[in-house]
Amino acid sequence: MKYISTRGTAPELTFEEAMLTGLARDGGLYVPAEWPTLSHDQIAGFAGKSYEDVAFEVMKPFIGDTFTDAEFKEIIAKAYAVFGHKARCPIVQLGSNDFLLELFHGPTLAFKDVAMQLIGQMFEVALKRKGETVTIVGATSGDTGSAAMEAFKGLEAVNLFIMYPHGRVSEVQRRQMTTPSEANVHALAVDGDFDTCQALLKDMFNDFDFRDGVKLAGVNSINWARVLAQVVYYFTSAVSLGAPHRKVSFTVPTGNFGDVFAGYVAKRMGLPIDRLVIATNQNDILHRTLQTGDHTKTGVKPSISPSMDIQVSSNFERLIFDLYDREGPAVAQLMDELKNAGTFTLSQGAMKRLRDEFDSGRCSEDETSAAIAEFHKTTGEVLCPHTAVGAKVAMEQNRNISVPMITLATAHPAKFPAAVEEACGIHPALPARMADLFERDERITRVAGDLDAVEAIIRERIGQ
């Protein structure tokens, strides 16, 4: 399998190269040159198999010869052994034909662990074989950073730097990033918001001197391997509810468009998904795009679902590439317009395709709190604010109720205790394995939201 850039001019890469590179040199994102498909029988055969076995079969067509079968099986086994639930990503029933897909049983209690644990193991094997060391820099609105810290801490071939917006992540999120004591992981508190961090990361990748000097690699949600890892749970959950013999729908709390794009990939691979619903909080650029065709930035408004406080949904570019018949120059032009004017308008053809695949909904701050209280009262489930956004939007869909609706539960409520307690009066407790989080020592480096400042710190820490 070859990987091509959404902007059409960067060199084709193998899976290994795309995984280690992250952003393409033409500013685009890597995507597979074509979508592999699984047959009806193959998908039906997933019934009753372990998460790990399904993961192997779903991801295998994408990895080419980067790993042998034995290596890849071991990578998957190690990645998910740390999860606190045997099913890894179990589903629970929320209503008559409504389900929650619990993606928060990993070490940092959010769905980012599903991909990051796998990536950590993949980097380890690939880099050890090459005898190389890389510098991974990530930008996080909270959950990616801690997941990366947990996945990469203590590895020999990787130095990890995580930039998070100072003062804009929850205390649990911050502590999960600042308390690991391993010398190869570093948390950088950047002055600015998540988009500042994300822009710094992009600029770092476009500074080829720095990029080559520190052997820069990325594990943000733009990294193809992360999207790929997330495709798996669409298959396991759908099959457990009767796919491929019946259709299922998904509602996905969305920020950077990585998770919901993974659902789109599952559909392209042959999983019979009826509707894919994009759920946004008050930062609703994607919902507005679905409604009007205008993709217009308006600035980030901090919310109680901070991991979705995003105005530039990086992975949306991967979808646009398909909406425009995989024409790199057309994508490059739209992205230039977004960068320069803060807006672009989708063509009519692209809009039609977008609406054929996706629905959307928005959930305000008040509605999010009300949804947490309501779901607690009616179902006994305590939802995190992100999950509540999804569950609320799912409820409002005008849908075929004979098709199961699976809402992705993207974080454990204990990761956002203040918002949850305020909404429903319950203080969600941390699982026993991280109960001492608030007693551990923190290591924080505060840095200006400025490319030179951040690059200088990284060079200094890795001894350049």
Ligand X SMILES: *Cc1c(COP(=O)(O)O)cnc(C)c1O
Nearest CA-CA partner of 232 in 263, 275, 199, 274: 263
Considering only the stretches 59-67, 155-163, 256-264, 346-354, report the one whose residues sit in contact with ligand X under the rule CB under 6 A: 256-264
Distance between CA atoms of 203 and 197, rounded to whole angstroms?
10
State the nearest-atom distance from the C-beta of 371 to ligand X, in Å: 14
When asked if residue 112 is in the footprint of ligand X (CB under 6 A), the reply is: yes
When asked if residue 110 is in the footprint of ligand X (CB under 6 A), the reply is: yes
Using CA atoms of 337, 218, 441, 195 in order, give the dihedral in degrees to the nearest 10.
Answer: 0
When asked if residue 256 is in the footprint of ligand X (CB under 6 A), the reply is: yes
**Measured from the CB atom, is 211 or 362 closer to ligand X?**
362
Sequence-separated contacts (24+) of 432-436 with Cβ below 8 Å: 433/84, 433/107, 434/109
234, 240 contact by CB (below 8 A): no
State the nearest-atom distance from the C-beta of 398 to ligand X, in Å: 23
**Measured from the CB atom, is 124 or 367 closer to ligand X?**
367
155, 184 contact by CB (below 8 A): yes
Paired strand residues for 294 = 345
State the nearest-atom distance from the C-beta of 12 to ligand X, in Å: 25
222, 27 contact by CB (below 8 A): no
Q: 98 in helix, strand or coil?
A: strand
Distance between CA atoms of 253 and 260, rounded to whole angstroms?
8
When asked if residue 255 is in the footprint of ligand X (CB under 6 A), the reply is: yes
Beta strands (DSSP E) in 238-288 are 248-253, 273-280
Distance between CA atoms of 210 and 207, rounded to whole angstroms?
6
Which token pair is 103? 């993606």
**Measured from the CB atom, is 110 or 420 closer to ligand X?**
110
- Which residue of 159, 221, 283, 369 would you call a contact of ligand X, by CB under 6 A? 221
State the nearest-atom distance from the C-beta of 242 to ligand X, in Å: 26
Nearest CA-CA partner of 315 in 202, 195, 227: 227
Give the total of residues touching ligand X (CB under 6 A): 16
- Which residue of 72, 161, 257, 324 would you call a contact of ligand X, by CB under 6 A? 257
- Which residue of 223, 254, 282, 368 would you call a contact of ligand X, by CB under 6 A? 254
| Residue 359: its H or E element | strand 358-362
Which token pair is 279? 């759920």
User: In Å, how far are 4, 192, 199 from 139, measured between CA atoms?
Assistant: 23, 12, 9
When asked if residue 226 is in the footprint of ligand X (CB under 6 A), the reply is: no
State the nearest-atom distance from the C-beta of 112 to ligand X, in Å: 5
State the nearest-atom distance from the C-beta of 253 to ligand X, in Å: 5
Tell me the catalytic residues: 112
Residues 398-457 that bind ligand X (CB under 6 A): 410-411
When asked if residue 237 is in the footprint of ligand X (CB under 6 A), the reply is: no
State the nearest-atom distance from the C-beta of 143 to ligand X, in Å: 3
**Measured from the CB atom, is 307 or 311 closer to ligand X?**
307
Considering only the stretches 203-211, 253-261, 264-272, 364-372, report the one whose residues sit in contact with ligand X under the rule CB under 6 A: 253-261
Residues 259-298 that bind ligand X (CB under 6 A): 259
**Measured from the CB atom, is 234 or 257 closer to ligand X?**
257
**Measured from the CB atom, is 146 or 236 closer to ligand X?**
146
Considering only the stretches 29-37, 38-46, 249-257, 330-338, report the one whose residues sit in contact with ligand X under the rule CB under 6 A: 249-257
When asked if residue 318 is in the footprint of ligand X (CB under 6 A), the reply is: no
When asked if residue 386 is in the footprint of ligand X (CB under 6 A), the reply is: yes
- Which residue of 308, 372, 382, 405 would you call a contact of ligand X, by CB under 6 A? 308
- For the window 140-159, what string marks contact with ligand X as x by the rule CB under 6 A? ---x----------------
Sequence-separated contacts (24+) of 443-446 with Cβ below 8 Å: 443/178, 443/179, 443/181, 443/186, 443/187, 444/174, 444/178, 444/187, 444/189, 445/186, 445/187, 445/188, 445/189, 446/166, 446/188, 446/189, 446/191
- Please give the distance of CA 131 from its chain centroid, rounded to a whole number: 29
52 CB contacts (<8 Å, ≥6 apart)?
A: 73, 76, 77, 80, 88
**Measured from the CB atom, is 126 or 308 closer to ligand X?**
308
State the nearest-atom distance from the C-beta of 133 to ligand X, in Å: 28
Footprint on this chain of ligand X (rule: CB under 6 A):
110, 112, 143, 221, 253-259, 307-308, 386, 410-411
